[in-house]
């Protein structure tokens, strides 16, 4: 058996711009700057728990802060405050934390805050004083008058500024929240360049930015907006802000929308609007709709300009990235298609937090596959943060989207049309996964089947290519959780062999198989022995729960 080691992506594992979304987000600032109010709004937007440190200390000691100061003194309070800060920093689930105004007085606290995602809500002392009610002022043990207030503010200002990014707190709380969101979720745009075309991928494109981009890019050109029929029945803010564009609603959802009949109807809608090659098709939806829209944009007058706006995690990390466009034919997937790059891809991470769990899992399975193939750091992030990812932690999901899109774009740029064999590596987990999907269709989803296929590929890689068994067990546990706490029951072995014989990767009677030597180091087995895959599946299920 001859193994062909595949290339390693140059940017994997070494991205200098990678942020650290697994860290807590701290809000610092003086009294009255709005840390608690903004913190609550921010935590809700990011799907993270919120902690107000002053409230936590009051609860712990069952005394107000003035009472603690009066009975134990400020030094005692600062020690308890620092202990709480360290305790919060060591917990596994990332949080949004509003700190006390004096937290920055300790050098150790400042060092901790500098190493985290910390934001100083900056508000002039006079405005902060005006925001405080009489009862608020009475409960501030270090403040007796406006002059005291301004003096204390002046002493702390330099310390606040050294601990993190400065955010003006003069605006409304929701506007301050949005400023912090821009810092936390923003990522540099990605460029996918292939065959003389460039696709700009914006992995942080909130709705407000999309509206600006629409006005800027479309200009006087006409555009048609393709959306899922679901959006017609459930109008949202996007519909309101894009109400100036004509809309074509797909008549079916999911794979059922990927038909020649639906494509014909969409092409007729383009024609009726008299669109020309300088005009645009905007596609808002999941992977099936981006496939349909991209195909029609490519066919209409040999190429309409295309902007994809994915609304599912799977579309954001896979379907909208890579230039594949297709519809199904006679029950077979993607039989009519081509390769066509969009002008741009706009991804709003805020859309991802409200996804149903099963859609979140489908996208994370694809992201985990990409991490196993190309990026040990991304593999490590997903493995360690799987609980928080499944809970919908938005900074983590946004980082996963950016990293996966970056890796996929780099691969596609090297082999857009799958002519060089490099994109074959993306079939990791799909050989056994497609068998499971076909055998149980339509009861077992594609993503759940691939999660099982990845686990089988990992066992195979341990047995035949030296993949570390401890790392493999950790990765298999992630796959199991992404499959929904239990893998599907393996098909009968005779059926596995039968279905393997139909695999699309067979060339000259030889079945190729993607395996791993380590996270980020993949290889292509040129001729798979099916018995070795069956043995890997049997080994996997010795200690695995199924349903």
Residues 209 and 162 in one domain: no
What pTM was computed for the model? 0.90
Residues 65 and 169 in one domain: yes
**Pairwise pLDDT comparison (417 vs 543), residue with the higher score:** 417
Average of per-residue pLDDT values in the chain: 89
Q: Do the Cβ atoms of 310 and 274 come closer than 8 Å?
A: no
**Pairwise pLDDT comparison (484 vs 504), residue with the higher score:** 484
Would you place residue 209 in the very low, low, confident or very high pLDDT band (cuts 50, 70, 90)? very high
Residues 219 and 355 in one domain: yes
Q: Where are the beta strands (DSSP E) in 229-302?
A: 247-250, 280-285
Residues 151 and 216 in one domain: no
**End residue of a domain, out of 350, 380, 407:** 407
Residue 334 clears pLDDT 50, i.e. is over it:
yes
pLDDT at residue number 492: 94
In-domain check, residue 134: yes
**End residue of a domain, out of 384, 407, 430:** 407
Q: Indicate the SS3 state at residue 144.
A: coil
pLDDT at residue number 369: 97
Residues 397 and 418 in one domain: no
Residues 393 and 501 in one domain: no
Residues 441 and 339 in one domain: no
Residues 428 and 447 in one domain: yes
445-464 residue pLDDT tens:
889 999 999 999 999 999 99
pLDDT at residue number 4: 39
Between CA 291 and CA 279 the distance in angstroms is: 19
Residue 14 clears pLDDT 50, i.e. is over it:
no
In-domain check, residue 223: yes
Neighbours of 240 (CB within 10 A): 9
Range(s) of the domain holding residue 114: 25-185
352-366 residue pLDDT tens:
888 899 999 999 999
Interaxial angle between packed helices 74-90 and 107-114, expressed in degrees from 0 to 180 and rounded to the nearest 10: 30
Beta-strand relationship, 324-329 and 332-339: antiparallel
Residues 233 and 364 in one domain: yes
In-domain check, residue 523: yes
Residue 184 clears pLDDT 70, i.e. is over it:
yes
Q: Do the Cβ atoms of 298 and 340 come closer than 8 Å?
A: yes
Would you place residue 505 in the very low, low, confident or very high pLDDT band (cuts 50, 70, 90)? low
Residue 543 clears pLDDT 90, i.e. is over it:
no
Which ranges of 47-171 does DSSP label H, i.e. alpha helix? 53-61, 65-72, 74-90, 107-114, 125-131, 134-138, 146-161
212-268 residue pLDDT tens:
999 999 999 999 999 988 888 888 899 999 999 999 999 888 888 999 999 999 999
- Count of domains observed in the chain: 3
Average pLDDT (434-438) is 88
Would you place residue 16 in the very low, low, confident or very high pLDDT band (cuts 50, 70, 90)? very low
Which of 111-125, 208-222, 504-518 is the least confident region? 504-518
Compute the C-alpha angle 51/55/59, nearest 5°: 115
Spell out the residues 6+ positions from residue 437 whose beta carbon is closer than 8 angstroms to its own.
444, 445, 446, 449, 450
Residues 62 and 174 in one domain: yes
**Pairwise pLDDT comparison (2 vs 347), residue with the higher score:** 347
124-134 residue pLDDT tens:
999 988 888 77
In-domain check, residue 397: yes
**Pairwise pLDDT comparison (457 vs 135), residue with the higher score:** 457
267-312 residue pLDDT tens:
999 999 999 999 999 999 999 999 999 999 999 999 999 999 999 9
CATH number of the domain within which 270 lies: 3.40.50.1970
Spell out the residues 6+ positions from residue 543 whose beta carbon is closer than 8 angstroms to its own.
none
Average pLDDT (411-426) is 86
Cβ burial, residue 464 (10 Å; 0-12/13-18/19+) = middle
Residue 15 clears pLDDT 60, i.e. is over it:
no
In-domain check, residue 488: yes
Between CA 328 and CA 317 the distance in angstroms is: 21
Q: Do the Cβ atoms of 381 and 492 come closer than 8 Å?
A: no
Between CA 153 and CA 361 the distance in angstroms is: 47
**End residue of a domain, out of 360, 381, 407:** 407
In-domain check, residue 459: yes
Which of 12-21, 51-60, 316-325, 422-431 is the least confident region? 12-21
Residues 144 and 249 in one domain: no
Residues 453 and 518 in one domain: yes
In-domain check, residue 396: yes
In-domain check, residue 1: no
């Amino acid at each position: 058996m001859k193994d062909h080691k595949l290339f390693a992506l140059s940017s994997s594992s070494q991205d200098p711009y990678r942020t650290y979304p697994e860290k807590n987000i701290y809000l610092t600032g003086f009294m009255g700057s709005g840390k608690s109010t903004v913190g609550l709004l921010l935590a809700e937007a990011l799907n993270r728990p919120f902690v107000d440190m002053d409230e936590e200390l009051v609860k712990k000691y069952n005394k107000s802060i003035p009472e603690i100061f009066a009975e134990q003194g400020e030094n005692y309070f600062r020690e308890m405050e620092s202990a709480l800060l360290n305790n919060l920093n060591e917990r596994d689930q990332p949080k949004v934390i509003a700190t006390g105004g004096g937290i920055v007085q300790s050098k150790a606290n400042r060092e901790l805050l500098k190493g985290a995602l910390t934001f100083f809500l900056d508000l002039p002392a006079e405005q902060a004083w005006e925001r405080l009610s009489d009862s608020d002022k009475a409960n501030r043990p270090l403040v007796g008058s406006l002059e005291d207030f301004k003096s204390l503010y002046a002493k702390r200002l330099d310390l606040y500024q050294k601990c993190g990014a400065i955010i003006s707190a003069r605006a409304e709380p929701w506007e301050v929240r949005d400023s912090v969101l821009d810092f936390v979720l923003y990522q540099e745009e990605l460029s996918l360049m292939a065959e003389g075309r460039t696709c700009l991928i914006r992995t942080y494109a909130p709705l407000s930015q999309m509206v600006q981009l629409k006005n800027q890019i479309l200009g006087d050109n006409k555009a048609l907006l393709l959306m899922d029929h679901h959006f017609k029945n459930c109008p949202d803010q996007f519909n309101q802000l894009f109400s100036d564009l004509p809309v074509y609603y797909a008549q079916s959802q999911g794979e059922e929308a990927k038909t020649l009949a639906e494509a014909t109807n969409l092409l007729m809608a383009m024609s009726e609007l008299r669109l020309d090659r300088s005009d645009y098709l905007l596609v808002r939806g999941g992977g099936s709709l981006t496939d349909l829209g991209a195909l029609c944009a490519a066919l209409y007058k040999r190429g309409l300009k295309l902007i994809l706006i994915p609304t599912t995690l799977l579309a954001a990390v896979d379907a909208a990235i890579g230039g594949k466009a297709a519809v199904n034919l006679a029950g077979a997937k993607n039989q009519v298609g081509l390769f066509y790059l969009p002008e741009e891809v706009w991804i709003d991470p805020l859309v991802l937090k409200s996804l149903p769990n099963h859609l979140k899992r489908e996208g994370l399975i694809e992201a985990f596959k990409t991490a196993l193939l190309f990026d040990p750091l991304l593999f490590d992030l997903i493995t360690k943060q799987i609980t928080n990812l499944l809970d919908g932690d938005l900074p983590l999901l946004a980082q996963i989207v950016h990293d996966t899109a970056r890796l996929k774009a780099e691969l596609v740029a090297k082999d857009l049309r799958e002519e060089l064999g490099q994109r074959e590596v993306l079939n990791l987990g799909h050989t056994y996964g497609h068998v499971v999907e076909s055998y149980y269709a339509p009861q077992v989803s594609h993503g759940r089947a691939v999660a099982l296929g990845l686990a089988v590929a990992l066992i195979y890689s341990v047995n035949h290519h030296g993949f570390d068994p401890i790392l493999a067990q950790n990765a298999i546990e992630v796959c199991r959780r992404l499959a929904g706490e239990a893998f599907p029951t393996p098909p009968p072995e005779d059926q596995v062999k039968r279905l393997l014989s139909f695999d699309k990767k067979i060339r000259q009677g030889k079945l190729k198989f993607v395996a791993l030597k380590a996270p980020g180091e993949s290889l292509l087995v040129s001729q798979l022995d099916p018995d070795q895959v069956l043995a890997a599946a049997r080994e996997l299920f010795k200690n695995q729960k199924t349903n």
